[in-house]
Structure 1
C-alpha cells in the first residue's frame, strides 16, 4: 500500500510541476471570469421580473397543447413531461418559489458547470493521453521500471493521478463559478431550492446537492473519455494519437450518436450512455433505454478499456 501511495504521490508531483497543468487551470479560471462579466454586463435585455405571470402563461399554453393532443404529434413521454412541468409550476405559484434565473448565483453556477465540463474533458484527455506515452517518448519509462514496483501498480498510479486531476478541475470549476456568481449577482439567493418532480411527488432539493448531482452525472462522461485516451496512450505509446482520437470523439461522438439514434442497436454505443442526465429529463436518446442499462453498458466499456490498458502496458516489451 505504501508503495502505491508513493507512486501516486510521484505522479501528482509530476503533474504539479508541469507548466501545462497550471496553464489549463489558469485558462479555466479566466474563462469563468470572462463568462461571468459577459453575463453581467454584456446582455442589455431587461430581466423579466414578473415570473408568476410568465409561469401562468406557460401553463395555459401547455394545457391548450394537452387539450388538443389528438391534433399534435406527441409521445407519451413528452406528454408526461409537460404534465410534470404544469404541476411543478403550480407548486411554485402556491409556495412562491421563483425559478432559477440565468442572472442569479445558482443560474450562473449551473450554466457554467454545464458548459465548461466539456472544456475540462478536453484538458483531461490531454493529460490522460500523454501521461503514459510521454514516458516512452522522453525515455523516462526506464527510470520507472528500475524501481521495485510491479508494472500494474505503475499503470494504476498514473490512472488514479489523471482521474484525481480531473476531479480537482471540476472542484475548481464549482468553487470559482460560485464565488464569481456571488460577487456579480450577489449571494442573496443562495438558499433557493431546486424542485424535483418524481411520479407526481414534488420535493425541494438544496441547490448545492443539485449542482453536485448534476456534475456527478456529467463526470461519468469525463471518466470514460479519460479512460479511453489513457488506453490509447498505453497501447500505442503515442500522445498525439491518444489526444487526437480523444478530442475527435469528444467533438463528434454525441452528434454521430444522435444521427444513429433511430437504430435500436445504437443504444450499445458508448456515447449513447455517457450522459445520464437524459434520464432526469425523462427523454433517453434511444427509446427503451433505462438508467440501469446505461450503467451496465458503461461498466462493460470501462472494464474493456482498462483491461486493454493493462495488457498493453504489462504484457508487451516496454524497454525501447
Structure 2
C-alpha cells in the first residue's frame, strides 16, 4: 500500500509541475469568473415579482397540453410532477431559483463539467502514452514494482485530477456567486416530487448531485482515453477519438433512438438526467439498466488496459 501511495504521489508531482496542467486549471477559473461577471453586469438581473402568475399560467398550459395530446407513461408523470411542484411553490411562497442568485449561478456552472471532462481526457491520454514517447517507460518499469501498481497509480492520479477540477468548479463558483450575488435566498430549498408528495431538499446536496450526475460521462470518457493511450501508445489518438465521441456520441445515439438496440450503446446510458426528467431515450430503460451497461463497459475498458499493459514489450 505504501508503494502505491508513493507512486501516486510521484505521478501527481509530475502532473502538477507541468505548465499545461495549471493552464487548464486557470481556464476553469476564468470561465467561472467570466460567467459570473456576465450574469451580474450583462444579463437583466431584475427579479421577477410576478412568478406566481407565471407558474399558474404554466400549469394551465401543461394541463391543456395533456388534454389536447395525452402523454403516456413517464412523459405524463413528468408533467404531473411539474404541476404539483409549481402548486407547492405557490402555496408555500417558494419562488423558482433565479439565475442571478447564488444557487442559480452554481447550478449554471455545473454545465461546465464538460470542460473538466475535456481536460481530464487530455491528462488521461498523455499520462501513459507520454512515458512511451519520452522513453521513460523503461526506467519506470525497472523498479521492483509490479506493472499493475504502476498503471493503477497513473489511473488514480487521473481520477484525482478530475476530482480536483470538480472541487474547484464547485468551490470557486460558490465564492464567485457569494461575492457577486450575495446570500439572499440561500435558505431556498430544492423541490422534488417523491411518492406522491413534494419534498424540500437541501440545495447544496442538489448541486453536488448534479455534478455527480454530469461526471458519469467524465469518468467513462477519461477511462476510454486512458485505455486508448495505453493500448496504442498515442496521446493524440486517444485525445482525438475520446473528444470526438464525447461531443458526437450523444447526438448519434439520439438520431438512432428509434432502434431498440441503441440502448446498449455507451452514450445512451451516460446521461442520467433522462430519468430525473422522466423521459428515457428508449422505452424500457431504467437507472438500474444504465448502471449495469456502464459497469460492463467500464470493466471492459479496465480489463483491456491492464491486459495489454502487462503483456506489452517496452523494448519494442
Instruction: Give the shorter-chain TM-score range.
Output: over 0.9
Q: Deviations over 1:112-143 (max 9, x none)?
A: 112x1111111010000000000000111111
> Which residue does the alignment assign to 1:108?
105
Q: Which residue of 2 aligns with 1:287?
A: 283
Question: How does 1:1-320 map onto structure 2 within 5 Å?
Answer: 1-44=1-44, 46-66=46-66, 68=67, 71-72=68-69, 74-114=71-111, 116-320=112-316
Normalising by structure 1, we get a TM-score of 0.96
Residue 63 of structure 1: how far off its partner (Å): 2.2
Q: Distance in 1 between matches of 2:249 and 2:94?
A: 38
Q: 2:74, 2:278 within 8 Å by CA — same for their partners in 1?
A: yes
Question: Cα deviations across residues 206-254 of structure 1 (Å, max 9, x unaligned)?
Answer: 0111011111111111110000000000000000000010110111111
Cα offset, 1:169, TM superposition: 0.1
Structure 1: distance between partners of 2:9 and 2:45: 50
User: In the TM superposition, what is the alpha-carbon distance from 1:149 to its structure 2 partner?
Assistant: 0.4
CA contact (8 A) 2:47 2:98 kept: no
SS of 1:195's equivalent? strand
Q: 8 Å contact 2:39–2:45 — kept in the other structure?
A: no
Equivalenced residues, count: 316
- Once the 2 structures are TM-superposed, how far is the Cα of residue 277 of structure 1 from its aligned partner? 1.9
Q: Deviations over 1:70-105 (max 9, x none)?
A: x42633322221111111111111111111111111
* Structure 2: distance between partners of 1:112 and 1:36: 9
Structure 2 gaps of 5+ residues are none
**Higher mean C-alpha displacement, 29-38 vs 226-235:** 29-38
Distance (Å, rounded) in 2 between the aligned partners of 1:228 and 1:147: 27
Shift of 1:317: 0.7
Q: CA deviation at 1:45?
A: 7.1
For structure 1, which runs of at least 5 residues remain unmatched after alignment?
A: none
RMSD: 1.2
In structure 1, distance between residues paired with 2:211 and 2:102: 16
TM-score normalised per structure 2: 0.97
Q: Distance in 1 between matches of 2:222 and 2:115?
A: 13
Q: Structure 1 CA distance, aligned partners of 2:184 and 2:69? A: 42
What SS does the aligned partner of 1:204 have?
A: strand
In structure 2, the residue corresponding to 1:317 is in which secondary structure?
Answer: coil
Moved over 6 A (4+): none
